[in-house]
Amino acid sequence: MNTQDLNTSLVALIRKKQELGQLSYNDDRYDDVEEELHDQEDDFNDNFGEYLEEVLGDVHQKHCPDTDVLLPTAYLPEALSPEGQVDITGKEGVWVEADAYPNKEARLLLVPNPARLILSVGKNVREEVWRAE
């Protein structure tokens, strides 16, 4: 797996999500940007889906075995900072039942720079549970 390609694709995909999120439904560009996003998501899943689904399966088995694995694109945050980092708010990513944090709202996110999976619990816990190498 080329981790640089994975990271570059993650950044491009999140930036496209961010672009779409900044448009109103009435914007003339909305449909075009939405279609571009869906094409990028399809390409991302075609190129990295099999690899990431295996990674996600391992992470789910270890940290949240009672939660189903979704497509890798479901785990993406909505935006990146200008520096290319994610400000994890606790409301992004996929909701999971994390064994280590019973009765707490936990989410799993796939973030770039470097490509990794973060288990986010509440406002304070941000645990890296996988890193692309």
- H-helix or E-strand spanning residue 120: strand 116-121
pLDDT of residue 95: 96
Average pLDDT over the chain, rounded to whole?
94
How much is the pTM? 0.92
Please answer whether residues 105 and 95 qualify as being in contact, where contact means their C-beta atoms are separated by less than 8 angstroms.
yes
Question: For residue range 42-83, what is the model confidence (pLDDT) as tens digits?
Answer: 999 999 999 999 999 999 999 999 999 999 999 999 999 888
Which amino acid does the sequence have at 103? N
* Long-range contacts, 19-28 (Cβ 8 Å, 24+): 21/78, 21/79
Name residue 38's amino acid: H
Asked if pLDDT for residue 90 goes beyond 80, the answer is no
Calculate mean pLDDT across residues 93-110.
Answer: 95
**Domain edges within the chain:** 3-131
For the stretch 11-40, pLDDT in tens is 999 999 999 999 999 999 999 999 999 999
